[in-house]
Structures are given as structure tokens and as C-alpha cells.
Structure 1
Amino acid sequence: MNRSKLSIEELKELKELARICRGDILKMTTVANSGHPGGSMSSIDIYLTVYKFAKLSPEAPFAPNRDRVVVSHGHTSPGVYSALARLGFFNIEDVITGFRHPGSIFEGHITRGIPGIEWTTGNLGQGLSAGVGMALAAKLSGRDFHVFTLMSDAEQAKGQVAEARRTAVKYNLNNLTVVIDYNDAQISGRASDTMLVNIKENYEADGWKVIEIDGHNHEALAEALYEAVNKNVPVAILARTVMGKGVSFMEDDVTFHGKPLDVETCRKALAELGVEDDLEFYINRRKRLPETREQLKPPLEVITIDSGKPVTYSVSQKMDNRSAFGKALADLAVLNKGKSPIAVVDCDLKPSTKTIDFEKVWPENFIQIGVQEHNAATVAGSMSVNGVLTFFTDFGVFGIDETYNQQRLNDINKTNLKVVVTHVGLDVGEDGKTHHCIDYIGALRNLYGFKIIVPADPNQTDRAVRYIVREKGNFVIALGRSKLNPIANLDGEPFFGDEYEFEYGKVDVIRSGSNATIVAIGQVVSEAVKAADCLRKEGIEVTVLGVSCPIDASFDSVKDYLKGNVLTVEDHNVRSGLGSILAEYFVDAGFLPEKFEKIGITGYAVSGNKEILYKLSGLDSESIIEKVRKMLK
């Protein structure tokens, strides 16, 4: 993309806007009696220059080929909002009036969906990963947009930033420029005293080009940006600034990091800036704001994916669910290569997560991040809303537990991420308690936008994978480790066979009986079916309900099976999984079964093979049989 330097007239305009924006920052934080004025005033010159230089249009703020600007230190939202408003993206009066008010879109930390805002940030250290994801998406989708990631100096101490730096160099993201507000100030005092970080040296050591400038000099900023976008490597611009710049009694004082001025002090600051004092107008206008508003709807670049035809595995063909996933994923690669971009983000686990075949088909779209899970999760989430259907694959303990904060931010950003985690539950076996992911359902119940699918066998896995690529939104597919035979119906044919179509939320009636009901999920569905078939030989008829979507299971559709003796079986923490969800359903539905018991994991387990661990925890078919017999006494 051809870019031109900012003109002398444009630079003069920015200088004047900076003075006005500093007044906006003070007004909105004082009117709200909340917010972060100090850092906003040190970053405002950066914001104005970057947003002016970037290929962005207020008339089409979400155009697919626009440049992306990610602001990592989202608490400086007053500066971001004022810059965007003064450049025409929205009304400045609405910003000053509604900042941090529930009836306004202008929240305390920047929010995706507001014109000009690409990523919701707040917990520091994730912005560069988001920028890396967008820059990767540009390359994978064959587009020429540039990504500008604006950051604070204090967050450079976070490990995820280092992970993102290395990833940018590995993939030669010369379409990525970082600008760091180097005011050497944070809540505790000097950033260099709080935690010494060799910012320049770290970026250079990882292979970045570093440019040092005065961060309040618009001409120097513009020159550095022009130089950066014409380099063949990622560039970091180290912009030295002053906290609270523009008001004498605020400058270089960390007190104003998160402390707004009171009304009278604000009036003095506005006078020093030579900005109109219209505080009363905004204070009165704020009183008339509604308490609620419609939710923002961030943009989502939807691409058409060929999901292919489901594969049916024979009931005699023993295999693991993760292999069925890997085969389906490779099939998607074959069907869509050269048509619609699909990417897989891996964390050095491709032999175990079975993503090797995808890599063989589409190596340039296989993103190997290495042992950098936090970075990988954010990179994948960011890619998913920038025109690339993105899979993030990992073990359960890493892809959900370790990266919970990153997945929460993906959820807040309303990403379109497809997470596939293998090695969940005690089914992991000998690796032991550090790798037994037994809380994935409970963790994901806390995230409002993620849907979870826990397939029972390879056939259901294949269909679930093809389903999620056709659907918008965040999904997690959780898979075990061990091999199992595909589940058969009473005729010996695959239950999830040619006639089966995956339907999110559906509870599958795999066996039907009147004496008891076993409600099972994932790998242990096979154990429940074995138990039911053995009990039938004793004259005990048992229903087996397979729940593949525990958070959104349609229990109403099978409630007639849930009124007698009900037993839940899950390879999961018994306190927070399927059993707890079903118990909550009973309360909400207004009825209770005659008997209700739960089998699940009651504590951290030891190392051992799956068969032994299942027996010790009561998850094997023999233990389930004995539990049913006791319930019927």
C-alpha cells in the first residue's frame, strides 16, 4: 500500500488538536469523576499522529482493507476517544458526556465495536499479541493493511509481550509497527524502578528495528511512522513522553495515573491549556443520560468454508477422538486451500493434537508458536476476527486452564475462535495430576460467549468439527486421549453414523430403558453404554443419554427420562461439570428425580493408565453397573 508523509498543514492541525484533546481528557475524567488522565495526556500526541497517518476513514471505519490500530494500554481510553472524535469518527460531546456511564458506549477501557477500536484491552500485555494476529491475518488473506500496536512502557515487563515480539520476527511481520509510550511512569512510581526492563535492547535482540523519538513531537512521530511502514522488518518506535503533559502541575506526577481532577482544579488546568471551560454543560448533560444502552456489535469478517462430507468410522475401527479431529481438519484444508483461509495455531504439540496432516496440506497456514500459550491464544483470537477461520489447538490444561485470562479476553472481544483441546480428564492417564484437565466445563461456564462440545466418539467428533466451521462465534471442542470403538446402536451399526447430523445442544438418546437413566459425557459415554448393555442382560433396562453440549444441553427434550433414578457420569470435577448442570436444571425446571447421584472426579488423581484411573474413580463400566444396582435397591 502506497503511503504518503503527513503534510505541514496536517502536522499543524495535529498540534492544535493535541491541545484541545488534552482539554477533552480532563473534562471527561472530571465529569465522570473517574478515569486515567495522566497516561492519556502523555499518549495523546501518539494517538493523533497514528490515527491520522493510518489508512482509516471515519466514513468506513470497518472497511476490510483498513489499517488496524491496537491500543494495548486500554486504560488511556480518554486519549483514544478524544483523538478519534476530533478526527471525525464520532461526536466529542457524546464522549465527554458519557465517558464511563452505563448508558454510553464509551467505557472505562477501550471497547471493540466503537469506530476505530480494533481490540478491547485493559489487562496489560495482550495488545502486541492481538497486533501480531492481525498482521498474520493480513498475510494469510493476501491483504496489504498495516497494523499499529500502541503500548505502555510498564507492560513491557510482561512475558506475553516477549512471546509476541519473537513471533513477529519469526513470521517476518513487516506490516507491524509498535509505538511505545515511554513516560517511565506507573502507579508505583518510576517504571524503571518498579521493574527494570531493557526495552530497546530486548526488541533489538529479538530482531526488531528500534527508532527513538520525542513522543510529543508530531513531525518526529510522523517521520518515524513513515520510516517504519517502509522497513522489511517489524519496527518498534520508542516515544519518550511525560506523564500529564500539557498541564504544569500534572507533568511527571504519577498521582494522576488514575486520579481525575476535581472540578475546581480542572478549571485551572483548562485555563492553562486555553481550552473552553464548559464543565457545567457536560455535568448537566450527563444527568440526562439513560441508564442502559444497546450492546455494541463488533464487526466480524465472515468467510465461506466448505465443511465437506462427514466420515463414518466402523464400530470395529478403534481410534481416538483427537485423530478423528485431525483427519477432519486435514480434509478442511484440502477443500479450502486457495479459496478460504483457514489457519491452525499450535503450541509445539502437533503430534499429540493431531494437526500434522493439516500442516502437510497447508504448511504456510500452520502457525507454530512454540511453548508460548498466552501469546498463541490471543494471536488466534485476533486472527479469527480478521478474515481467517482460526483453530487454536492445545492440551486442555494449557488451552483452557493456563490461558483462561486470554480466552476471557477473546470472549469479551466476541471473537470467532475454534479451540480444540485434547487430553482432557483422567483419560490423559500416566502424565498425572498436572496434566489431568478436569475443570474445563466449569471454567468455560464462566465465559458467556463460548460454546463447548465434548464428543462421545470419533464419528461425533468428525461431525462436530465440520459443524463449528459453519457457525459464527467461539467454540471449544474437548477431546480425550485414548482410543475407543465408535459407539454402536442396538443393531451394531454406528450410532453417530451416516444418518446422524450434529445439532448443538441436542441430548442423544443412545439407549432407552425404564429402570434408570445414565447421563454421560465425552469419553465415558462408551463406559455408560457398556454398563447399560450388561445390565440389560440382567433384565435391568437403562437409558443412556449422551450430552455433548453440557452448557446448553436441551434437557427439556428428554425430561421424561429424568424423573426416575438418574446417575450422571463424567470424567470431570464432580463439583462443576455435568452433574452440577443437571442439578441446576432440576431446580429451574421445578421437578426432582426419585433418586439422583453423581459420579465424577473428587480430587487430584495419581499417575496410571486410563483403565486403572477410571476404576479408582468409579468411571469404568463395572463401577457404573454397581452404582445402578445400588440405586435400584
Structure 2
Amino acid sequence: MSEKGFTGSLSEAEINELKTVATHCRGDILKMTTLAASGHPGGSMSSIDMYLTVYKYANINKDNCKSFTRDRIFVSHGHTSPGVYSTLARNGFFPVQDAIAYFRLAGSIYEGHIERMVPGVEWSTGNLGQGLSAACGAAVAGRMRGEEFDIYVFMGDGEQQKGQIPEARRFAAKYGYNNITAFIDYNKLQISGSIASVMPQNIRGEFEADGWHVIEIDGHNYTQIFNAVAASKKIEKPVLILANTIMSFGVSFMENIAGYHGKPLTEAQLADALKELGIENDIEALKAKRAAFKFSYAAHELVQEPAKIFTGAPRTYAVTDKTDNRSAFGDALLDVVKDTKANGGTPVAVFDCDLAGSVKTDGVEKHCPENFVQAGIQEHHTATCAGAASVNGVVSFFADFGVFGVDEAYNQQRLNDINGSNLKVATTHVGLDVGEDGKTHQCLDYVGAMRNIYGFKVIVPGDPNQTDRAVRYAAAAQGNFLIAMGRSKIPTVAKADGTPFFAGDYKFEYGKADVITEGDAAFVTYGAMLPRALKVVKLAAEKGVKLALINMSCPLEPDMELLKKYASKTIFVYEDHNANTGLGAIIGAKAAEEGLGLRVKTFGVRSYAYSGNPDGILKLLGLDEETVAAEAVRASKQ
């Protein structure tokens, strides 16, 4: 980082210094991709002049790269990792020889696409189209924290074909994030050829139509790069710098050839290229260094400053109350936002996609509008934006319908997890409890889908009281959570004495199941099916079968110790989830893994369902209380 910042103008000496470093960076790029026999040299070489200029004069360096007031630099086309690593190394973030020798080597942090464990990298990217959304997340966090810093985003031109980018640019314009300056490496080539032939687009016109100011420059001219950034700071709009570049710029036989987008040089070609650049060919020494690499697990860990959240006193819903879990979520969320703010804790950002009244974030919108972020019907952008905000000093809640927040934004949630986000995804309308919207809106895989994402924890509360306590728990706990809820009003679960079950001394504990009623065989359920399961248990008892009703609100971590007590009988699982991937499947797999010899019978959804109220749908699927009770009784007596 230079103390100069983007003020004044570049001197001849500064331009010459940038040219010299850029030549070395081009050599680094070619060495690392040849050594790894894979990678993307072309875009790295067309972007390198912009990378060097911004990283040199922005307020970020190896000493302040964890400070909340640093400038942020997001590289969305993460396949240009050779250029990013070389730039960071040449700016002192880590030894350049390490980045070159260990590039794309199993166990190295210098992976094929940029990863956040690398010092100076803000967001792991490579699934194109997400960098601008992540930058918006940093802008959201900065504004909520009252911090001022500049944000730079680098993107590819072919990447502009992704639908998430229009979502992000509209969002940035709506909220007036004038501290965002984006670059597009406009070399006009992508893997399959020219962008004009693969998918024509009007990049400048589209950004301008969405409220951005566009500056067009020569992306290899340091003066134009520097001056464009300096000009962007005086413009009251987000700014796009459309940088005309040449693929593989700097090596004559590579220039403007689409094949070098993702193809490294052979060692013979590398020797010719390094000779043209005037760079020493030390490939043999680099091979020896690569062979001596030692893996360190700790190098891959993402460490984040713990959030300070105040959860307040839980609310208790009486047995006579009948409300829905989503309303209990909204009330608990508002309490958390208010109490945390009153006590000077970490800001809580609540993201909504035009569903505030349905997902019950409207309380925050009304009473704490400065914590509420309305992103419109833009789930892909919003999921990424919320995740990125959560690694920039806020705790994020992203509320949506299950089919949108889980299924539609699955890849974004996966990338959030890879980035070590601290995101709380709250989805309503999961399972069959979505009203009459039908199969397109029935999220039947919310457990199974999130089971695939290693860092997410899933909570499916059984009534409003458990929802209240689960929300407060997740808000204060570090890491990613999905809190999944249905739509309908449901009864408050009661103890035998008629008092609320999930109240009083009850404390939510992740992974701990709740025995609602005692019995001889386990009848396991969760979420909106819990009140129905109570009726199943009652009907079975009338037929002489005593079922122990177990509420398993954390389906990814079933309480196997509890289930061992019922190992001599069939374990019944009752869920409005895909029977192939839900709680029943998880219990069966864990039982097999642990050699428990449990017999598991799942009453779950085995096909796409129908439009209608939950009672009617469950009846058609054979999942109504009467049918399930009869089958459980029959199976118990075999």
C-alpha cells in the first residue's frame, strides 16, 4: 500500500515501477501455471495491471488486512488467482516463491480459485457472478457499523452473462453505495471464443441503465487506471471502470488467443515467454520447492472475531395460544435486534426478499429500519450479500421461503459456508405446510440439502416456544444455521400437567432431543409434524400401543444415545420431508455406521405432492394421523 492513496497523479517513476513489477508478475503467472500444468494465465495477464495499481494505492496491506476500516478488494473471476497471488506477494503479503511453487498443489492455500484463507483475499470466488454481491455485503456491514472504507470489485467480461450480477448492481444503486468501484476486464474473450459469439451483451448500457456511472479506459495504461479510480471517488453513484484489455497481454505469441484463458504453457513455451519478458527461468528450483511442500491444516482455518449478541429474555406462549412458528421467529428476532443494539453489541442485519409480512421480518422493518435490508426478489444476490456481510462485522439473518432460501440459493449458501460466514438462514413455508401454493413451493429437501453443506446446522422447532429459544440460541452462536418453519398456526406443546413444554427451565441445546411422552417404541418427529405426532401417539395408545414421542429438532445431529433406549423396537420417523434424504435416512445411516442394529421405518414424502391445505395433502399421501397411527400399530405388533 502507498501512503499516497488515489490523490494527485502518477509520476513517471511510479509508472515505471508499476511496469517493472507487472513484468515480474507476468513471469510469476506463467511459472505457476506451467508448474501446476493447469490454471488460467490469459485473464490473469490481462487483469494484472489493474490489480497492481489498486492494491498498491488502496488502503490495504499485510498489517491492516484484518482491520474493519481497511479497504476491501473483491476478485469475482477467481480463476485469475495466479494474478491475485502474484500481486499480493509482490505487495508483501507472503513470499512470492511460495505462491508460485505451491500453486494448485493439494494442501496448499494457493488453490486454483482464490480462497479467503490467503492473506489479502476477501472472499473465496470462482463460481462466477458472486463477487459484486459479496462487495455489497461489505458495504452493508460498513454502513451499519458506521465505518468508512472503499470497496473495489474485479470481474470478467464473460462473467457478466450471469444473472446474479444485475441483481447486485441494482442493489448497489438502490442503496447508494458510492464507495463501490467495480472493474471489468474487457478482453472480449471467454473459454469458447469471443463474448460476441458466445453470448452478446451490452455491458456498458446495462450498468448505466441500472444507475451506475461508467468510465471506459485502457486497462493496461496505469495513468488511466489510477485517474479513473480517483475520479470514481467524486461521483455520487457506484462506478464501473470498463477496462479494455488484451488476453495474455505482455507475451506476443499468447496475446488475444482464447485458448490461453485456461491453458498453461509447456516448459518449452515458458522458456520462450520468460526470455521475451526478460525474467529468469528458475523452474527447476521451483520444482524442488514444490516437492518439499509440507501440509498444515491450521493454514486453512478461517478465524473470525466472535460476535457480541444479546438475546434478551425468552417469550413464553401459553398452551391456550395458537400461533405460528414464523411469528414466534419474528418476535424473537426483533427482541435480539433491539437488545443487542441497546447493549452496544454487534449489529444484526436482517435481509428480506419482498416477503417481510410472510416471513415476519416486518417487525424489524417497522421498529429498527436501520437494521433491515430490503433486497427485492433477488435471492441469489441476497444470500451472498448476507453471507459476506457476516464476515465484515455484523451478524446476518436472511429470511425467505424454504424453496427460495434453500433450493434456489443452494450454491450461494454453499459458498457462504466455504467462506466461513456467520449467517442465520430462517426459512418459512417448508415441507408441505405452505398453504395452497402447490408442489413448486413445497420445499421437501431442506434437511437433505443442508446436510450436504458441511458447516451448516439445522434447527426445525416444534412449536412457538421452542422456535423462540432456538432463534435466540442461533443468533448468539457462531456459525451458519438454518432455522426451518412451516406456515400454519400450530398448538403450543404442553407437558402432562398442562404447562408449556418448551418454557420454564427449558433451555435449547443443539443436538438434544426432547421426550414429549414416554412409551415403549420411539416415534420421532420434528417441526410442524410435532402436533400431528401427538395425535398419532394418542390414537396408537387407544389401540394398545404405547409410543414414546420424541421431538428431534436438530435432524442433522440426531440424539442417538436416546434412541439406543428403544433399540429393541422399530424406530418410527414421521416427517413432511423427502423420505430418501430426511431425518429417517439420517438415523438409518448413523445406526448402520455405529452398528446399532436399529430398525427404522419412515413415514415421509415419497413423491411431489399436491396443492391444498396440509390436512388434505397429508391424507392423499397417506401421512395423515389416522393412517400413520394404524400403520405404526400394525408394525409394532409384528
Fold-level match, TM-score > 0.5? yes
Contact kept, 8 Å, 2:307 with 2:478, in 1: the verdict is no
Q: Give the match for residue 281 of structure 2.
A: 277
1:133 maps to amino acid? G
Change (3 A) 1:460 1:568: same
Contact kept, 8 Å, 1:245 with 1:251, in 2: the verdict is yes
Q: CA deviation at 1:293?
A: 4.3
Please give the secondary structure, in 2, of the residue aligned with 1:211: strand
Instruction: Supply the distance in 1 between the matched residues of 2:475 and 2:14 (Cα, whole angstroms).
Output: 45
Instruction: Supply the distance in 2 between the matched residues of 1:294 and 1:329 (Cα, whole angstroms).
Output: 35
Q: CA deviation at 1:198?
A: 0.6
Q: CA deviation at 1:485?
A: 0.8
Q: Which digits, 9 at most, give the CA deviation of each residue in 1:457-495, with x for residues without a partner? A: 101000000001111111000000111111111111111
Pair 1:556 & 2:561 matched: yes
Contact kept, 8 Å, 2:33 with 2:265, in 1: the verdict is yes
Q: CA deviation at 1:623?
A: 2.2
Q: CA deviation at 1:223?
A: 1.0
Contact kept, 8 Å, 1:247 with 1:269, in 2: the verdict is yes
Q: CA deviation at 1:284?
A: 1.8
Instruction: Supply the distance in 2 between the matched residues of 1:334 and 1:78 (Cα, whole angstroms).
Output: 45
Pair 1:305 & 2:273 matched: no
Q: Give the match for residue 517 of structure 1.
A: 522
Pair 1:392 & 2:366 matched: no
Pair 1:499 & 2:499 matched: no
Please give the secondary structure, in 1, of the residue aligned with 2:452: coil
Q: CA deviation at 1:509?
A: 1.1
Q: CA deviation at 1:3?
A: 4.5
Give the counterpart of 1:405 among 408, 411, 425: 411
Q: CA deviation at 1:231?
A: 2.1
Q: Give the match for residue 32 of structure 1.
A: 36
Q: Give the match for residue 580 of structure 2.
A: 575
Change (3 A) 1:506 1:43: same
Q: Give the match for residue 533 of structure 1.
A: 538
Q: Give the match for residue 128 of structure 1.
A: 132
Instruction: Supply the distance in 1 between the matched residues of 2:435 and 2:25 (Cα, whole angstroms).
Output: 59
Instruction: Supply the distance in 2 between the matched residues of 1:11 and 1:362 (Cα, whole angstroms).
Output: 49
Give the counterpart of 1:448 among 436, 440, 454: 454
* Mapping 1:100-111, distance limit 5 Å: 100-111=104-115
Q: CA deviation at 1:561?
A: 2.3
Contact kept, 8 Å, 2:86 with 2:96, in 1: the verdict is yes
Contact kept, 8 Å, 2:138 with 2:388, in 1: the verdict is yes
Instruction: Supply the distance in 2 between the matched residues of 1:401 and 1:23 (Cα, whole angstroms).
Output: 43
Q: CA deviation at 1:336?
A: 2.5
Instruction: Supply the distance in 2 between the matched residues of 1:29 and 1:470 (Cα, whole angstroms).
Output: 43
Q: CA deviation at 1:498?
A: 1.4
1:243 maps to amino acid? M
Please give the secondary structure, in 2, of the residue aligned with 1:567: strand
Change (3 A) 1:445 1:295: farther
Instruction: Supply the distance in 1 between the matched residues of 2:413 and 2:486 (Cα, whole angstroms).
Output: 21
Contact kept, 8 Å, 1:104 with 1:293, in 2: the verdict is no
Q: Which digits, 9 at most, give the CA deviation of each residue in 1:151-192, with x for residues without a partner? A: 011111111100101000000001111011100011111112
* Mapping 1:163-174, distance limit 5 Å: 163-174=167-178
Instruction: Supply the distance in 1 between the matched residues of 2:460 and 2:14 (Cα, whole angstroms).
Output: 56
Give the counterpart of 2:75 among 71, 85, 109: 71
Instruction: Supply the distance in 1 between the matched residues of 2:403 and 2:433 (Cα, whole angstroms).
Output: 13
* Equivalent pairs, count: 631
Contact kept, 8 Å, 2:351 with 2:382, in 1: the verdict is yes
Contact kept, 8 Å, 1:359 with 1:365, in 2: the verdict is yes
1:96 maps to amino acid? I
Contact kept, 8 Å, 1:605 with 1:613, in 2: the verdict is yes
Please give the secondary structure, in 2, of the residue aligned with 1:597: strand
Contact kept, 8 Å, 1:302 with 1:387, in 2: the verdict is no
Contact kept, 8 Å, 2:113 with 2:126, in 1: the verdict is yes
Q: CA deviation at 1:297?
A: 2.5
Give the counterpart of 2:434 among 428, 439, 445: 428
Please give the secondary structure, in 1, of the residue aligned with 2:300: coil
Instruction: Supply the distance in 2 between the matched residues of 1:497 and 1:125 (Cα, whole angstroms).
Output: 45
Give the counterpart of 1:617 among 614, 621, 632: 621
Contact kept, 8 Å, 1:348 with 1:371, in 2: the verdict is yes
* Mapping 1:131-210, distance limit 5 Å: 131-210=135-214
Q: CA deviation at 1:343?
A: 1.2
Gaps of 5+ in 2: none
Please give the secondary structure, in 2, of the residue aligned with 1:430: coil
Contact kept, 8 Å, 2:133 with 2:385, in 1: the verdict is yes
Q: Which digits, 9 at most, give the CA deviation of each residue in 1:220-248, with x for residues without a partner? A: 11111111123221000011100010000
Gaps of 5+ in 1: none
Instruction: Supply the distance in 1 between the matched residues of 2:626 and 2:320 (Cα, whole angstroms).
Output: 22
Instruction: Supply the distance in 2 between the matched residues of 1:582 and 1:26 (Cα, whole angstroms).
Output: 50
Contact kept, 8 Å, 1:102 with 1:293, in 2: the verdict is no
Aligned identity (percent) is 52
Instruction: Supply the distance in 2 between the matched residues of 1:15 and 1:395 (Cα, whole angstroms).
Output: 51
Bigger mean CA deviation after superposition, 186-195 or 243-252: 186-195
Pair 1:477 & 2:472 matched: no
* Mapping 1:289-368, distance limit 5 Å: 289-290=293-294, 293-337=297-341, 339=344, 340-368=346-374
Instruction: Supply the distance in 2 between the matched residues of 1:543 and 1:494 (Cα, whole angstroms).
Output: 18
CA RMSD, Structure 1 to Structure 2 (Å): 1.5
Contact kept, 8 Å, 1:98 with 1:289, in 2: the verdict is yes
Contact kept, 8 Å, 2:522 with 2:563, in 1: the verdict is no
Contact kept, 8 Å, 1:350 with 1:356, in 2: the verdict is yes
Give the counterpart of 1:236 among 236, 240, 252: 240
Bigger mean CA deviation after superposition, 98-107 or 536-545: 536-545
Bigger mean CA deviation after superposition, 558-567 or 401-410: 558-567
1:33 maps to amino acid? A
Please give the secondary structure, in 1, of the residue aligned with 2:364: helix
Q: Give the match for residue 589 of structure 2.
A: 584
Please give the secondary structure, in 2, of the residue aligned with 1:233: coil
1:517 maps to amino acid? A
1:472 maps to amino acid? Q
Q: Give the match for residue 496 of structure 2.
A: 490
Q: CA deviation at 1:57?
A: 1.8
